[in-house]
Amino acid sequence: MAKHEHGKMDIEVQEKTFAGFVRASAYVAGAAILLIVFIGLVNG
C-alpha cells in the first residue's frame, strides 16, 4: 500500500459536487420561502 500523505489527495470533483449541493439547497430553500409567503398572501 502507498503511504498516506496528508493534503495530497485531489479533491476537485468533491469540491464541485459540494458547491452544486449548496447551490441547489439554496434554491430549494428560497423557493420554499417564496411559496410560504405566497400561500400566506393568498389566504390572508
Q: pLDDT, tens digit, for every residue of 9-44?
A: 899 999 999 999 999 999 999 999 999 999 999 986
- The pLDDT of residue 8 is 87
d(CA 24, CA 31): 11
What's the predicted TM-score (pTM) here? 0.72
Pairwise CA distance, residues 44 & 42, whole Å: 6
Quick one: cell of 24?
441547489
Residue 44: per-residue pLDDT: 62
Round to whole Å and give the CA distance between 3 and 22. 33
CA distance 19 to 7: 20
The grid coordinates listed for 16 are 464541485
Can you give the pLDDT at residue 2? 72
